[in-house]
Amino acid sequence: MAGKGVWSEVVGQPDAVAVLSAAADAASSIVAGGAPPPGAMTHAWLFTGPPGSGRSGAARAFAAALQCTATDDRPGCGACAGCHTTLAGTHADVRVVAPEGLSIAVAEMRALVQVSARRPTSGRWQVVIIADADRLTEGASNALLKAVEEPPDRTVFLLCAPSDHPDDVSVTIRSRCRIVPLGTPRPDAIASALVEDGVPADQASWAASVCGGNVTRARRLATEESVRARRESVLRIPLALRRPADIFTCADSLVQAAEADALTANEARDESERQALETAMGAGGTGKGTAAATRGAKGALKDLEKRQKSRATRTQRDSLDQALVDLAAFYRDVLVTSSGAAAVLNHPDREPDARAAAGAWSQESTLRRLEAVLACRDALELNVKPRIAVEAMLTTLQRG
């Protein structure tokens, strides 16, 4: 990571990089016994921005700069042990909380707060990254608030959320954080980052043009054939809904693909977790205490299965939500095309389909379809069963 060092992880966010780099300088001065200007470095940060803007990546890069041990350059060299282990997720004093289920529970946050109160063991700072702070339960938020209100001297909290709205992050926590707003990266910045990763220029340009400003999505589109194929199957749906029977065919396709994604993403991990727990609980053992250990193992396995089910539900929802985002973007493109606006299309490679739809549907009908997709996303957030929500949406998409 020569040149920009860890900041090469933060794509298309020059203003945020400038702020974070200056704060890392101040943090390095504090560790060395200096006294930087007041406010140059603070103990709590809130990274906000739309999906794919790189909130978690910016937080990890900042954490790496805080742990940087290079002495001949500004913090964030990208090559020292502090930078390398932080970016790799193995630094002893950097902890990342990312909900595997639908929320971050109070017990998990309390345990983390206890750990965060300790002095750094090998690094320069104790850093806690909360990747989805908008998923904190009320109890978890209250536990975090106590730590943010009275932080240890060398502990830094890095929170990531879609916005600083009270629905995402409580006002009390937000008021104690320095906010770093991230915007949607420009396609040329995303394409450049992909080329640096070794993606061919034409593939990088295409992925950047259709990813909706989502850097993670662009990387997957550029490198994974299955992701490209899934996008193609989703974007065929609008013009494939010719008869009422097509509603159920397309619903099967969407829901089954999301279920398959959840199975593929979690199957190997679920099995390894189960085997590890069974071994830890004495599976296959003989002699005294075996019966009691077996009874204890059943309870532990039940808890594990509950967590794994929650993780699978979230994976399925995330997969289905990406399909809905692609659909919403297509109907937006139809509206742009029918109105003759000069706006850039979200799916420029599907322009012929957008033109065909614009010629066949009224703008009012297109808008109803777009609203149906957005309503389906809301329904899934409210725990409506995926198939029911998807079939209701597709009924409107077919009828207009």
Residues whose CB is less than 8 angstroms from the CB of residue 90 and which lie 6 or more positions away in sequence, other chains included: none
For helices 245-280 and 225-235, angle between their N-to-C axes, nearest 10 degrees: 150
What are the CA-CA distances from residue 83 to residues 116, 156, 216, 308, 400 (Å)? Answer: 20, 16, 21, 32, 53
Rounded distance between C-alpha atoms, residue 222 and residue 212, angstroms: 14
pLDDT at 2 over 50: no
How far apart (Å, rounded) are the C-alpha atoms in residues 291 and 273? 22
Of the candidates 329, 348, 363, the one whose C-alpha atom is nearest the C-alpha of residue 234 is 329
Report whether pLDDT(3) > 50. Answer: no
Per the CB < 8 A criterion, the answer to whether 232 and 214 are in contact is no
- Determine if the pTM surpasses 0.85: no
Give per-residue pLDDT as tens, 211-227.
999 998 999 999 999 99
Q: What is the pLDDT of residue 266?
A: 59
- Residues 396, 155: Cα–Cα separation, whole Å: 51
Task: Write down the pLDDT at residue 4.
Answer: 66
**Mean pLDDT in residue range 123-151:** 88
Region 290-296: mean pLDDT is 55
Task: Work out the average pLDDT over 313-334.
Answer: 90
Question: What is 302-314 written as a DSSP string?
Answer: HHHHHHHHHHHHH
Phi-psi region of 363 (alpha: psi -120 to 50; beta: other; left: phi over 0): alpha
Report, as an integer, the average pLDDT of 104-132. 86
How far is Cα 55 from Cα 369, in angstroms, rounded to an integer?
Answer: 31
Q: What is the mean pLDDT of the chain?
A: 87
pLDDT at position 1 over 50: no
